[in-house]
Structures are given as C-alpha cells and as structure tokens.
Amino acid sequence: MKLEEIKKQIEEILKSKLNHLKVSLDDNLETGDFVISVWWNDSEIELPGNYEHNESFMGNKKDILNIYNNEILPFIKSK
C-alpha cells in the first residue's frame, strides 16, 4: 500500500463527511518516516488557513499496513 493511495482514499471517503477537509502527506525518503495529517472544521464557514480539528498519523513506511489497519481505518470509520 502506497502513502499517496492512502492520502487519496482518506480524501475521497471523507470529503462528503467533513467540512473544509485538507489532507497532507509529508514523506522523508531517507528515513522512510511519514506523516499524514487530516484537518477539518465543524463549521460550514470556511476560514482559510484555520482548522478546528487535526488528526495525524505517523510512522515508518515499513509499518504502514499496521498503522493503516489500527489507526487510519478506525479514524475513517468514526467519521
């Protein structure tokens, strides 16, 4: 499973459920570490650059399947 695919999946599933959704991916090619961050608002009013909520998932690429199954999927299902 690739990090970019996970990012796109989060965006596709949550774009209709969360207001002003933003998903970012930071990937360190040297160490294999990554951070996927999800920002969103409860309010329907957009405040550019300001988000009420943030959830981040981080680890090493070698652990991505465990992080996906144990952290990312439960987060997606909870929304």
Please give the C-alpha separations between residue 2 and each of 5, 8, 16, in angstroms, as whole numbers.
Answer: 5, 10, 23
Retrieve residue 11's tokens. Answer: 């965006």
- Checking if the pLDDT of 1 tops 90, the result is no
Q: With bands split at pLDDT 50, 70 and 90, how would you rate the model's confidence at 35? A: very high
Q: What is the pLDDT of residues 4-33, one digit of tens each?
A: 999 999 999 999 999 999 999 999 999 999
**What residue type is assigned to position 10 of the chain?**
I
Q: How many CB atoms lie within 10 A of CB 8?
A: 13
Q: What is the pLDDT of residues 42-73, one digit of tens each?
A: 988 877 788 999 999 999 999 999 999 999 99
* pLDDT given for residue 74 in this prediction: 98
Retrieve residue 14's tokens. Answer: 């949550």
